Structures are given as C-alpha cells and as structure tokens.
Amino acid sequence: MSAIDDLFQQLRAENRQALMPFLTAGDPDLDFTAAMIQELAGRGAAMCEVGIPYSDPIADGPVIQESYTRALKRGVKVSDILATLGQVAGQVTTPLVTMVSYAIIYRHGMESYADALQTRGLAGMIVPDLPADESPQLAAVCAARDLSLIQLVTPTTPPERARRIAETSSGFLYYVSVAGITGERTALPTDLVERVRWLRAQTPLPVCIGFGISQPEHVKLLAPVADGLIVGSAIVRRMAAAAGQRAQVLQEVGDYVSSLLAAF
C-alpha cells in the first residue's frame, strides 16, 4: 500500500475527508515552497500537491500559468524541486505528490522519475496529460515502488473511458469539477454532486474533486459526496505576494486553509 492508500484508509475509518492544497514549486523560490508545505501540514492539510512548472501547462488557468512562468524564469530545475521535497517529506507526516506533465516524466524516463520520487519519500504523482496507451506501463512502474498514480476524470470523459482510467489509477481519482481550466469560481456546476456520486459507484478508489473550489460554501456542498477536495488557484494567488512579506503570506494562507478545514 502507498502512503496515500494508508491516508484514505485512516480518513474513512474516522469518517473524515481530505483537504489537499496545491502549490507551485519554486514560486517564489524553493525555500518558500518548503516553508509553505510545513505551514499547510501544520494546519491539518491531509496531503499536498506540488506543481512541477512546465512551459506548456495542461488545463491550468492564468493564476497557475503565471506562477509556472515566474518559477521557470528564475531557473527552477526538476532535480532541485525533488531534492527540496525530499527534505520536507522527512519533516512532515503529510504525503506529498507531484503534479507533473507526462512530457517531463517521458524526458526523464518512467523508471528514473519514479525512482526519484521513491528515494525521496514522496507518495506519488498526478499526471493530467498521461496518454491512454502509456497509462498501464506507468501504473506498473508506480505499483512496483508503492507510489500512487493519480489520474483525472472530467465532465466530458465518456463513462467507459472513466472506468478504464480508474482501473489504471491508484491512491485516488481526481475528478475535475468543470470542463475548462483551473481557477477560483463563485458557483460550481449544478450536476456536480450527481456526477461524483456516479463515479464513486464505478470504483473502490477514493474520489477527490478539484478545479474551482475556493470557498467554505463549496466545502460544505461537496464534503458529503467526496473523499477529498483540492484547492489550488486560491492558494497560488495568495502566494504570489510572497516576495518581501513571507511571514505574512504564510499566516494568510494558513488561516485560509484553516477556514476551509473548519467547513468540513
């Protein structure tokens, strides 16, 4: 079992759901990334997703795209990101996963990238653009190392394809709440709850919802049908102000995450 399997087994036994913040590695720098992970873990985040900056991000809205651009302009490297995450992983009990384009995995090699995560104590990877033909191979590589391979299901994914995605996923399924890009939203689709209920009936995997979640009201609406909720753009936007006022930003983001946790 992976660390994420253990996490959701414990949460289900306690009848609790996970809050999973997302942040961009290296924005504004890796020292602040490490400090923010520690802050979020201390606030009670169940897991942290860390975005590996990429020049052609998949389905990311302007807030996360801009954070990737800032990090890349500062010269952040994948090897340095993984080294930093490995150091933090030894200091927190919260599992850490990378949100990473398949192009980066392909360039490094499946086994090499998975080995890098395993040796640093990371829990798995989310690969939003994983080609269907490559999915079984990467799933096997991850399973051999007790890593979770988390894949996405969207509102436009045909039912049979959603089932196939679930078969080669592990840890949890990432359900995209809206068709489109990431970003904070005031309202979520009216049929979201029913769609998630359908997906949960198709797989024993936990189902977690992301894209657009940013308010305590969203948490109250979705917590009864989801195993976890993912919050990204609202956190990345707040972190964009980190240069020069880091302690204040850590406090602000921490307080924001605590407000979401209180809504479960």
Per-position DSSP letters for 85-132, written without gaps between them: HHHHHTT-SS-EEEE--HHHHHHH-HHHHHHHHHHTT--EEE-TT--G
Mean pLDDT of 123-150: 95
Q: What's residue 241's pLDDT?
A: 81
Is the link from the previous residue into 28 a cis peptide, with omega within 30 of 0?
Answer: yes
Q: What pLDDT score was predicted for residue 93?
A: 96
| The two three-digit tokens of residue 259, written as one number | 């407000």
Rounded distance, CA 208 to CA 231, Å?
11
pLDDT value at 57 more than 70: no
Q: What is the pLDDT of residue 244?
A: 73
* Percent of the chain at pLDDT exceeding 70: 94
Mean pLDDT for all residues in the chain: 93
pLDDT recorded at residue 178:
72
Share of the chain above pLDDT 90, in %: 83
Domain boundaries, the chain: 3-257
Average pLDDT over residues 184-202: 82
The rounded radius of gyration (Å) of the Cα atoms in the chain is 17
**What's the pLDDT score for residue 222?**
93
Confidence of residue 186 (pLDDT cuts 50, 70, 90): low
- Mean pLDDT, residues 139-151: 98
Q: pLDDT (tens digit, 9 = 90+) per residue, 209-258?
A: 998 898 999 999 999 999 999 999 999 999 988 877 899 999 999 999 99
Question: Does residue 196 have a pLDDT over 80?
Answer: yes
**Fold of the CATH domain 3-257:** TIM Barrel (3.20.20)
What pLDDT does residue 56 have?
79
Q: What is the pLDDT of residue 131?
A: 86
Bridge partners (DSSP) listed for residue 22: 49
Residue 17 predicted with pLDDT over 90: yes
Q: Which residues carry out catalysis?
A: 49, 60
Express each pLDDT in 29-47 by its tens digit.
999 999 999 999 999 999 9
Per-residue confidence (pLDDT) for residue 44, from 0 to 100: 98
- In the predicted structure, residue 81 carries a pLDDT above the cut 70: yes
